[in-house]
Amino acid sequence: QVQLVQSGAEVKKPGSSVKVSCKASGGTFNSYDFNWVRQAPGKGLEWMGGIIPIFGTTNYAQKFQGRVTITADESTSTAYMELSSLRSEDTAVYYCARLLRQLGGSFDIWGQGTLVSVSS
């Protein structure tokens, strides 16, 4: 059974960067499509981008192009999401999630979430 475990909460200053990790256990890491979805306080879900480690291909939402970088380390079965030029509006819980093509491209497994707070 695949599980996704994310790194802990972060507090950042405006203008800085944050890098959140998502470690997968169980399953075949390289074949999965790992995505990042964020949720601002009291708001809905927003897809940021994803990576397929076996191909090394990434796909980003236009809104975050140039500010987000998603990578994967096969040796540790860990995916990363780095967001730069942070502003207060980036305060949110960031989730990693597996997109499974066999289930119609749905996000079937989620990490527990990482709270990123941006404040001066």
Q: Residue 89, SS3? A: helix
Closest C-alpha to 63, from 99, 90, 43, 101: 90
Amino acid in the structure at residue 61: A
**Binder among 46, 58, 71, 82 for another protein (CB under 8 A):** 46
Contacts of 79 (CB under 8 A, 6+ apart): 21, 22, 24, 34, 51, 53, 70, 71, 72, 73, 96
Can you give the C-alpha Rg of the chain in angstroms? 14
Contact set for another protein, span 1-30 (CB under 8 A): none
**Binder among 14, 15, 26, 105 for another protein (CB under 8 A):** 105
**Shortest distance, CB of residue 39 to another protein, whole angstroms?**
9
| Size of interface with another protein, in residues (CB under 8 A) | 21
Give 15 or 37: the residue with its C-beta nearer to another protein.
37
**Shortest distance, CB of residue 13 to another protein, whole angstroms?**
26
Q: Using alpha carbons only, what angle is made at residue 103 by residues 6 and 25, rounded to the nearest 5 degrees?
A: 30
Give 82 or 113: the residue with its C-beta nearer to another protein.
113
Residues near another protein (CB under 8 A): 35, 44-47, 59, 61-62, 95, 97, 99, 103-108, 110-113
